[in-house]
Amino acid sequence: MSIEELALDSRRALVIGIGGGGDVIGCIPTARFLRRLGVEVLLGGLTWERKVVDPLPGPRRVEELEGVVEVCERACLATPETRTRHGTPLTESVVSACTGAEVLLLDVGGGVEGTKEALRCAMRRLEVDLVIGIDVGGDSLAMGDEKGVQSPLADSIMLLSIAELGAPAALGVIGYGSDGELTQDELNRNIAWLLGRGAFLGAVGAVPEDVEVMERIAKRTATEASRLVVEAAKGKYGHCRIRKGSRRVFLTPMSVVTLYFLPEAVAEMSRIARIVRGTRSLEEADRLLRRHGYATELYYEERARGVEGEER
């Protein structure tokens, strides 16, 4: 099986950023690749923005958003007018404005089980027959022993949801370490593990037209990891820092390539994914990960607002 075979067997695909924030921007090369193969594409992302955009911890519920078209309880379509109740535009709002198309928004507040239900509902109502989750940076490929993992919650929920969806699916990684969570050695080790199990579906490089669209969107958002993909495409190479200097990234030409894997194999490799399997709320998944020693993006957002997890 290859990414091309999956595409050619599909009529309409959902290409969705699985980590929230700017991951939807990393979907552009895959979406344009699929369209060149004759597949209709719906872009998607999560209702969870980084705290520099939305200071409230966690994802937004559909009812907390304005200017959306409701699809299911935990899924809606974003337009250029989509905002939170506090007037904050999401990255998907910008993507919608730049592409002229509605963008699916998914709320992972239902944990793995609720997210699977939301995905299945959205697929039925929007006539989608293929789901490709896109992660910018590659932290979704963590085995669980890597010290730099700082945002495992959304990725693990989405990874398992796609892996257990019961429909054609793939996981794509673009940016190769541009989020500063896994080192190059860790990425190489984990990808080698997947290669050894026949889980590699192929790769697609971003073409200049992809980069142009990504840059246009990135300039209007607060994304850092996705912006580094654009910079790599322009020849930037070597060490740089993101997240106000707290994370160190080694940027290489590999950042412009999207690698595709069988999501069930990635879930098998991931101790983090195994921990959140079967969860029915974001809080439950977060609590389990913290109990096993993993700090999550929700933990950092709560700490930034001075909120203790026990008070949620």
pLDDT digits (tens, 9 = 90+) for 205-218: 999 999 999 999 99
Query: What's the total number of domains in the chain?
Result: 1
- Token readout for 211 is 């980069």
Question: Which of 83-87, 159-163, 222-226 has the least mean pLDDT?
Answer: 222-226
98 falls within a domain: yes
Of 17-26, 49-58, 133-142, 208-217, the least confident: 49-58
pLDDT above 80 (res 231): yes
| Residue ranges of E strands in 47-165 | 65-72, 75-84, 103-106, 130-136
Percent of the chain clearing pLDDT 70 (strictly above): 98
The pLDDT of residue 67 is 97
Is pLDDT at 50 greater than 90 in this prediction? no
Q: Does the pLDDT of residue 312 top 70, yes or no?
A: no
Tens digit of each residue's pLDDT (9 = 90 or more) over 181-227:
999 999 999 999 999 999 999 999 999 999 999 999 999 988 888 89
> Starting from the edge strand earliest in sequence, which strands make up the sheet with 200-205, in order?
65-72, 75-84, 103-106, 40-46, 12-17, 130-136, 169-174, 257-261, 200-205
Q: What's the CA gap between 218 and 143, in Å, rounded?
A: 29
| Burial category of 267 from C-beta neighbours within 10 Å (exposed 0-12, middle 13-18, buried 19 and up) | buried
- The rounded distance, in Å, linking the Cα atoms of 169 and 255 is 22
- Output 101 or 243, whichever has higher pLDDT: 101
SS3 assignment for 220-264 = CCCCCHHHHHHHHHCCCCEEEEECCCCEEEEECHHHHEEEEECHH
R_g of the chain, CA atoms, integer Å: 17
The confidence score (pLDDT) of residue 244 equals: 73
Q: Considering the domain boundaries, does residue 309 fall inside one?
A: no
Phi, psi of 205 (to 5 degrees): -90, 145
Asked whether residue 308 is assigned to any structural domain, the reply reads: no
In a domain, 248, yes or no: yes
- pLDDT band with cut points at 50, 70 and 90 for residue 306: confident
**Domain harbouring 149, CATH code:** 3.40.50
Domain with 93 in it: 3-303
Q: Is residue 310 part of a domain?
A: no
Residue 165 lies in a domain: yes
Report the distance separating Cα 289 and Cα 112, nearest Å. 13
pLDDT at 310 over 70: no
